[in-house]
Amino acid sequence: MRGLRVFLVENHQDSIKYIRLYLEQLGHEVTTAGDMATALKLFPGSTCDVLISDVALPDGDGWELMERLKSGRPSLAISMSGYGGAEDLLRSRSVGYDHHLVKPFTPDDLVALLRKAGTVVENQESGRDQGVSKGKRPK
Amino acid sequence: MKQLKKADRNSFQGTNSEASSDWICCLMQQIGLPALRIVPKTMEVTAFNRLFADLIVSTGIGDYRLWFVDGVLPSIKKAERVGWVAAAARFEPANARVQLSLKGGRKRNFEIRSAGRIQQETVDPLIACVFIPGSAADPRMRDQPGFARGRAMERSRIRDELHKNVSQKLLGAAFGCKVLAGKIQRLDDGFAQQASDLAELLNTAVIDLQNLTRRTEDYD
């Protein structure tokens, strides 16, 4: 799997710590934020490929976060929530998330989505930069 | 458990140290339900278990043979009493709601369920009555708004608990285990396999929890 730049928004300390470690172990570059305010501050400069955000944040929610990220949206956005109701899924889709993961999900669930993200990023890059050599990415 | 001699033919020797016991009363005692046996026509009590004796003691009726007629029958809801008595006389299974006073005066609802003829009992067959306690005994209670609200609140509380505590911790643990498995793999293949098995176990727990959470949502 190609290395991706992942922006992870999650307020649960253990979850953010171990998801980050695991994704880094797989060769991805991970930036984290524990709340919406931090995410809004760090996200514009992160030039990430994938946004993974919890829906429940201490100062807002993942849907509002997506709506406020007016520019620089990632190639693939994944929302996470503890409730798998159809309403959560539909709302996530309506604000621009490509996928919705219901907690607790397995590491394999997330890896499968990141594989998809890798394909999307490659397609975008090949369409955008035809004939131009790609910048170096994490392994 | 007590029993009249007349009913000895319907009884067996109890497995405990007590004297001969009616097998149904004995069985119900073991699973925690008050029970008694009555003669169909007279409704005279022939056997009972200790749980039923504890239940009826507050009535102050001294002669246990009258416990049903004087202690239970008047407490069956009027609308159901006639039907229950008729069914019992025909030796057919019947249910009725009854409110009994516990020690200290507190009242408690029960559903009295009586069985029909029991094939093995060929001589002087008796009616077996079991008392199911609480609102669970009355399916109509479950349809009442307060009861439904309480159930919804409890489901919501359990779901929140599953998400905020169990689910989040399990998520962190599943990823943490994968990290460890990856690191150990570089050091020792045997340990790596164990870590991988542990990660798999956590994955299974995660999936079980997902299914459980979905089931609680299905009720909403």
B204 and B129 co-located in one domain: no
B146 CA: distance to closest CA in chain A (Å): 25
d(CA A92, CA A104): 17
* CATH code, domain carrying B120: 3.30.450.20
Whether residue B182 lies within 8 A of chain A, CB to CB, comes out as yes
CATH of domain A5-128: 3.40.50.2300
B167 and B117 co-located in one domain: no
pLDDT of residue A135: 42
Structural domain ending residue among the three candidates B118, B142, B166: B142
B71 and B134 co-located in one domain: yes
B134 and B183 co-located in one domain: no
Query: What is the ipTM for the molecules in this complex?
Result: 0.80
Structural domain ending residue among the three candidates B126, B142, B158: B142
Residue B203 domain boundaries: 145-218
B100 and B31 co-located in one domain: yes
A131 CA: distance to closest CA in chain B (Å): 37
Q: Closest chain B residue to A25 measured between Cα atoms?
A: B179
Q: What angle do CA A94, A96, A100 make, to 5 degrees?
A: 85
Q: pTM, whole model, 2 decimals?
A: 0.55
B150 and B170 co-located in one domain: yes
B60 and B133 co-located in one domain: yes
Structural domain ending residue among the three candidates B122, B142, B162: B142
Chain A residue numbers with beta carbons less than 8 Å from the beta carbon of B204 are none
B157 CA: distance to closest CA in chain A (Å): 13
- Which residue from B163, B176, B207 is facing A83, i.e. has the nearest CB? B163
- Please judge whether A104 and B159 are an interchain contact, meaning their C-beta atoms are less than 8 angstroms apart: no
Confirm if B137 and B97 have CB atoms less than 8 A apart. yes
B93 and B122 co-located in one domain: yes
Report which secondary-structure segment, H or E, holds A21. helix A13-25
Tens digits of per-residue pLDDT, A61-115? 999 999 998 767 788 999 998 766 678 888 999 999 999 998 878 888 899 999 9
Chain A residue numbers with beta carbons less than 8 Å from the beta carbon of B173 are 14, 18
Indicate the length of chain A as a whole number: 139
Chain A residue numbers with beta carbons less than 8 Å from the beta carbon of B199 are 107
Q: What angle do CA A121, A84, A43 make, to 5 degrees?
A: 40
The structural domains of chain A, with segments of one domain joined by +, span 5-128
Tens-binned pLDDT, residue by residue, of chain B (220 aa): 544 444 343 333 333 334 336 888 988 888 889 999 998 888 899 999 998 988 888 888 888 899 999 989 998 888 888 888 888 888 888 889 898 887 777 788 888 998 877 766 667 778 889 999 875 545 566 667 777 788 788 877 887 777 777 878 888 888 998 888 888 888 877 787 888 788 888 878 877 777 776 666 655 5
Whether residue B172 lies within 8 A of chain A, CB to CB, comes out as yes
SS3 of chain B: CEECHHHHHHEECCCCCCCCEEHHHHHHHHHCCCEEEECCCCCCEEEECHHHHHHHHHHCCCCHHHHHHHHHHHHECHHHHHHHHHHHHCCCCEEEEEEEECCCCCEEEEEEEECCCCCCCCCCCCEEEEEEECHHHCHHHHCCHHHHHHHHHHHHHHHHHHHHHHHHHHHHHHHHHHHHHHHHHCCCHHHHHHHHHHHHHHHHHHHHHHHHHHHHHHCC
- Which residue from B167, B175, B182 is facing A82, i.e. has the nearest CB? B167
Whether residue B169 lies within 8 A of chain A, CB to CB, comes out as yes
pLDDT of residue B14: 35
Whether residue B170 lies within 8 A of chain A, CB to CB, comes out as yes
B102 and B125 co-located in one domain: yes
- Please judge whether B206 and A105 are an interchain contact, meaning their C-beta atoms are less than 8 angstroms apart: yes
Counting the structural domains of chain B, the total is 2
How many whole angstroms from its chain centre is CA B39? 26
Q: Which of A80, A81, A106, A109 to mutate to test the interface with B (most CBs of B within 10 A)?
A: A106
B42 and B132 co-located in one domain: yes
B83 and B174 co-located in one domain: no
